[in-house]
């Protein structure tokens, strides 16, 4: 049997190689064949999930409800000290100083990242802005969100904070974060599907010790992923996050 691992499409491109390294490490730890499949967008990944073609997923918080309630996935672990926060950024020399300076018709560069776009729109509400009175310009990556801002094609952009921090120094210096969310409990989660059940005890044990077990290369693999460590994600924490996302979407 070959199990299937996938990763939310909003992960940093800088860590593509890291996920392949992690997959190799994981196969050695569990003694089972695992294939890593990376999808270009959320729609294609959700189709694979619907077709039961995913067994282990580093999941976007927006998709957690569907994975738990419709597909029987169980939360296993989450990156330590890595909540999903959103940033609204403008050009460094933009006259916009606070969100309330925006006017209806503002041009917003966004990706397809659903939780970041949701949080970003909530942060625009003090300016009485909603989806029907802003002009969203959807692009395929956060690098292109930054490019739209620098070329003057957008007035502001929504970023995952991690992605904003990963921009090159010269690019980041030409941008200015206007506001950053501070939700703290919304985050990506490694989730296991029904076919992973028999491996859950070993999977959890290996992940929890990954940052300290240098003999099997765990710290190096974490570094390749841009992570410090994994921490246990209790099911009740996931349910709370799901409920919070449901509330934010209303």
Range of the domain at 43: 2-82+185-249
Considering the domain architecture, whether residues 161 and 223 belong to the same structural domain is answered as no
C-alpha 38/C-alpha 26 separation (Å) is 16
Considering the domain architecture, whether residues 172 and 112 belong to the same structural domain is answered as yes
Considering the domain architecture, whether residues 45 and 162 belong to the same structural domain is answered as no
Considering the domain architecture, whether residues 77 and 193 belong to the same structural domain is answered as yes
Considering the domain architecture, whether residues 90 and 171 belong to the same structural domain is answered as yes
pTM: 0.83
Considering the domain architecture, whether residues 15 and 52 belong to the same structural domain is answered as yes
Number of domains present in the structure of the chain? 2
Decide if pLDDT at 74 tops 90: yes
CATH number at residue 134: 3.40.190.10
With helix as H, strand as E and coil as C, how does the chain read? CEEEEEECCCCCHHHHHHHHHHHHHHHHHHCCEEEECCCCCHHHHHHHHHCCCCCEEEECHHHHHHHHHCCCCEEEEEECCCCCCEEEEEECCCCCCCHHHCCCCCEEEECCCHHHHHHHHHHHHHHCCCHHHCEEEECCCHHHHHHHHHCCCCCEEEEEHHHHHHCCHHHHHCEEEEEECCCCCCCCEEEECHHHHHHHHHHHHHHHCCCCCHHHCHHHHHHHHCCCCEEECCHHHHHHHHHHHHHHHC
pLDDT tens for 14-30 read 789 999 999 999 999 99
C-alpha 121/C-alpha 102 separation (Å) is 12
pLDDT tens for 78-121 read 999 888 899 999 999 999 999 999 999 999 999 988 889 989 99
Considering the domain architecture, whether residues 96 and 152 belong to the same structural domain is answered as yes
Considering the domain architecture, whether residues 28 and 72 belong to the same structural domain is answered as yes
Considering the domain architecture, whether residues 192 and 205 belong to the same structural domain is answered as yes
> What average pLDDT does the structure give for the chain?
92
C-alpha 113/C-alpha 161 separation (Å) is 12
**Which one of 126, 151, 180 terminates a domain?**
180
Considering the domain architecture, whether residues 50 and 30 belong to the same structural domain is answered as yes
Considering the domain architecture, whether residues 50 and 133 belong to the same structural domain is answered as no
């Amino acid at each position: 049997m070959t199990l299937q691992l996938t990763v939310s499409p909003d992960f940093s491109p800088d860590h593509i190689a890291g996920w392949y390294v992690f997959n190799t490490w994981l196969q050695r730890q569990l003694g089972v064949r695992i294939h890593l499949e990376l999808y270009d967008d959320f729609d294609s990944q959700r189709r694979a999930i619907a077709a039961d073609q995913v067994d282990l997923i580093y999941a976007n918080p927006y998709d957690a409800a569907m994975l738990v309630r419709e597909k029987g996935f169980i939360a296993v672990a989450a990156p330590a000290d890595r909540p999903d926060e959103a940033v609204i950024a403008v050009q460094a020399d933009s006259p916009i100083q606070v969100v309330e300076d925006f006017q209806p018709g503002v041009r917003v560069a966004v990706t397809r990242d659903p939780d970041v776009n949701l949080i970003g729109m909530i942060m625009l509400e003090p300016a009485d802005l909603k989806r029907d009175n802003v002009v969203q310009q959807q692009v395929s990556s956060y690098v292109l969100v930054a490019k739209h801002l620098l070329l003057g094609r957008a007035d502001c952009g929504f970023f995952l904070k991690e992605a904003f921090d990963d921009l090159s120094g010269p690019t980041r210096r030409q941008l200015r974060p206007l506001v950053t969310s501070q939700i703290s409990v919304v985050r990506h989660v490694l989730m296991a599907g029904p076919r992973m059940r028999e491996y859950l005890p070993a999977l959890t044990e290996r992940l929890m010790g990954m940052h300290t077990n240098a003999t099997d290369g765990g710290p190096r693999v974490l570094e390749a992923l841009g992570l410090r460590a994994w921490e246990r994600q209790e099911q009740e924490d996931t349910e709370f996050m799901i409920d919070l996302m449901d509330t934010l979407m209303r």
